[in-house]
Chains A and B, each alone.
Chain A
Amino acid sequence: MNKTQAVAAVLAATTTEPIVCTTGYACRIARHLDDRPSHFYMTGSMGLASSIGIGVARETGRTTVVVDGDGSLLMNPVGLITAGALPTLPLAHIVLDDGCYASTGGQTVPSRGADLCALALASGYARAEETDDAERFAELVRAAVADCTAPVLVLARLTSADPPVPGRVEGDLAEHARRFGHSLAGKG
């Protein structure tokens, strides 16, 4: 499974649910595959995708999907601790783990000793599962989104190369935030 396939599986499992994508390729791929008003492309603030998702889920009560990366999650694991302390938060936290910082040159993420699923469970997540199989991943994401009553984590272990990655997210970021806000208000 590569990152493009994993993002496609997240989009296939969702319709109008808010989706917060972390900085880097996750945003670019999601936008290229289907640029829904319910997507929030976090182009900076690496490490904070789950925090934004927590705020959205807590405020709207809606199942909120976070598309995170291994490097992004490790830049600020306090997101895990914060979500884990909110046992009824409907947060489907998807982690695309390719073991590298893909958009900055493929440097290795220093996670050799870290078990991200164990970290989520130890933080209070209700479930955390990982797979390197595309079909199994799609199944886990569907299940996480369909019945989301607590923070859950699904980790895709990515092992294949991606096709050329689409261009940067362009346009006015304030306008992008307004579009997402309208979508959350049911106007999008």
Chain B
Amino acid sequence: MSESVTIIFEKRDGERIEVAARTGASVMETAVVNNVAGIEAECGGSCICATCHVYCDHVADGVLDEMSPIEDDMLDLAAAERRPSSRLSCQIRVGPALDRAVFVIPEAQF
């Protein structure tokens, strides 16, 4: 098993940014460490601020951790539209199954 997988962030204009992600880190931490704009994560990953919202349409079924009730509640009031594929990226842990997964950044986090 490799220590690092590749995660892809898709910006609103369709541009894709490929970054190396450390397994065990969250998708949010991966974005922040790689300066991916549009993932604010004001609370640092406490599932408190809903500013690390991503859409996971391009992520295979069954590879994401389950959503907690609190994440579910926070997403209802995220700044950008909530869709069936919405998640908070601080609650998604990077593992080998996420290699080359694509996370779409919404138009707003505040």
Q: Do A and B bind each other?
A: no
